Amino acid sequence: MNRPITTLFMLMSVDGKISTGTTDALDFDQDFPHISGLSEGLHQYYEIEQTTDLWSLNSGKVQAKIGVNTRSMPNKGPVSFVMIDNHHLNEQGIRYFCALSKEFVLITTNNNHPAFMVHESNLHIIFQDELHLVSALEILKRDFGCDYLTIQSGGTLNSLFLKEKLFDYIDIVVAPVLVGGKDTPTMIDGKSLFSTDELNQLGILQLQECNLLDNSYIRLRYRVIN
């Protein structure tokens, strides 16, 4: 394979939501720690997260939402981060990920992105006229030695990976809660299917592992059959 083996790793509710609401002020990471019945088992998701691949792909929108643009500089870790972003990360956010990452790769279609003003030895920019996930993943493997990649982005970007058939595995931690709300983000958002001719875009999954965690949390791992 000329691209990394990918795993979508997400925390979601039983009804498939990945946020507690539609606004940036509402977020699992911010809200679950304060909700009795959810806070007790939440640590398991973060502990599993620490065992995922040493390359992690995120979206600038999600990272800006959780506040990286205003955070102080972190200690460097062993994980290399890939960020898809056009305008959500500012210069502080870019420097944050340079400080945190072993290697930091930004994928953007914005030739005026603040990252072009940052000069760090571990910052690499993949500029594309239009976002092309297949070629971006091929560059990650060929130029940076990224063989395995964990994807932790939002529902809209996840839908692009799904339609390009770029998921190999799905690794989900299900929290014991129903969120509801038709406009609340789900694990796969994006454009809905409109006809039976589009059914080949469906992701067919083969269950590999099912683990009952503490406090009614569940972990499900699937192989995607393309």
Number of H-type helices and E-type strands within the chain? 6, 9
Confidence (pLDDT) at 196: 82
- Looking at residue 191, its pLDDT comes to 83
Tell me the two tokens of residue 171. Answer: 């690794």
Residues 160 and 23 sit within 8 Å (Cβ to Cβ) = no
Find out whether 134 and 1 touch, Cβ atoms under 8 Å: no
Whether residue 210 contacts residue 219, with contact meaning beta carbons closer than 8 Å, is answered with: yes
Neighbours of 8 (CB within 10 A): 25
pLDDT at residue 202, rounded to an integer: 82
Provide the pLDDT for residue 186.
96
**Nearest in space to 131 (alpha carbons), one of 155, 157, 101:** 157
Q: What is the pLDDT of residue 226?
A: 78
User: Does domain 5-225 fall into CATH 3.40.430.10?
Assistant: yes
Phi, psi at 222, each rounded to 5°? -125, 150
- Rounded to whole angstroms, how far apart are CA atoms 223 and 180? 27
Closest C-alpha among 154, 142, 58, 151 to residue 107? 58
Q: How far is CA 86 from CA 82, 106, 116, 156, 196, in A?
A: 13, 9, 12, 14, 34
pLDDT in tens, the chain (226 residues): 899 999 999 999 999 999 999 988 899 999 999 999 999 999 999 999 999 999 999 999 999 988 999 999 999 999 999 999 999 999 999 999 999 999 999 999 999 999 999 999 999 999 999 999 999 999 999 999 999 999 999 999 999 999 999 999 999 999 999 999 999 999 999 888 778 877 777 889 999 999 999 999 999 999 999 7
- Quick one: pLDDT at residue 24? 83
Q: Bridge partners of 108?
A: 127
Angle at 93 between CA 134 and CA 151, to 5 degrees: 35
Amino acid at 201: Q
Q: Rounded distance, CA 19 to CA 161, Å? A: 20
Q: What single-letter DSSP state applies at residue 17? A: B
Q: For the chain, first and last CA: distance in Å?
A: 14
